[in-house]
Amino acid sequence: MKIAILSRRPQLYSTRRLVEAAKARGHTVRVIDTLRCYMNISSHHPSIHYRGESLDGFDVVIPRIGASITFYGAAVLRQFEMMGVPTLNSSLALTRSRDKLRSFQLFSKRGIGLPVTGFADSPDDIDDLIQLVGGPPLVIKLVEGTQGIGVVLAETKQAASSVIEAFLGMKAHIMIQEYIKESNGADIRCFVIDNKVVAAMRRQATPGEFRSNLHRGGKATLVKITPEERAMAIRAVKIMGLNIAGVDMLRSDRGPLIMEVNSSPGLKGIEHATEKDVATAIILCCEKYAKKTKRNYRLKG
């Protein structure tokens, strides 16, 4: 099987592990810089070109698309889809998961556990918005933020009002969420592949920090999740339409609460914390998905 990995940096741990796992399974693999792809969008012969050559003959594409290039990355994925090449996470699922507000609205509609969340555009509505989420302390998040960037804990109403006004003044889209004190600065990351939780870790924030992201200095350890947490993680990924995702959730007094579904989850933290070969599990999913998709194409043809 010929596999394409869309990644801007071949030296990244996640990309290297996927290459190693693919080669160990006997596959041919190529790492492609997403932003160097350029497209011929035509009615009969759509194509993708890369460094002067046409990209064709791939059996499946693994997207490792960073949040900062979501727009262009989704366009490249759509082009592969137009060419009949299976993409492990579709362009539609990618853009859906990257929009935190849309994700939360979809989860709310399906009854998925969530922190109470508010969204507004006018500074005139700040006081009421703060009350809607239960008052301070509360968490303010940039809708487009990632890896804990653009996430602020406001412990007083005055602090919350000042931060919200500042963000709105910059025309930034933000969400306001209740602060789940009982989580004690920890969250759970469930790695879901093909509707199964293949690994789970607990991420603990450093002292004085409430963000548990590993990029912010959080520590990861192996964790045993409950049947409810497992079922919720799988449901959340299905709602997003993803084949592979990292699901972040908090443990609260009212049960697990989904914080985010990440369509390009990193492998380093989860593999080191759990000692599980997640990269090979992804390649096995590629094999299954490519075979299934090709069979469906033949049936439709």
- pLDDT truncated to tens, each residue of the chain (301 aa)? 999 999 999 999 999 999 999 999 999 999 999 999 999 988 788 899 999 999 999 999 999 999 889 999 999 999 999 999 999 999 999 999 998 889 999 999 999 999 999 888 787 888 888 888 888 899 988 877 565 567 888 889 899 888 888 888 888 888 899 999 888 888 999 999 999 999 999 998 776 666 656 655 678 899 999 999 999 999 999 999 999 999 999 999 999 999 999 999 999 999 999 999 999 999 999 998 887 766 554 444 4
Per CATH, the architecture of 2-89 is what?
Answer: 3-Layer(aba) Sandwich (3.40)
**Architecture (CATH level 2) of domain 117-179:** 2-Layer Sandwich (3.30)
Q: What are phi and psi of 16, to 5 degrees?
A: -60, -40
CATH node for 182-263: 3.30.470.20
Strand residues in 121-211 grouped as ranges (E): 138-142, 151-154, 174-178, 186-193, 196-204
- CA-based torsion, 95, 99, 104, 106: positive or negative: negative
| Whole-structure pTM value | 0.87
Pairwise CA distance, residues 80 & 189, whole Å: 30
Instruction: Specify the domain boundaries for CATH 3.40.50.20 within the chain.
Output: 2-89
From-to residues of CATH 3.30.1490.20 in the chain:
117-179
HSE on the CB side for 7, CA within 13 Å? Answer: 22
Start-end ranges of CATH 3.30.470.20 in the chain? 182-263
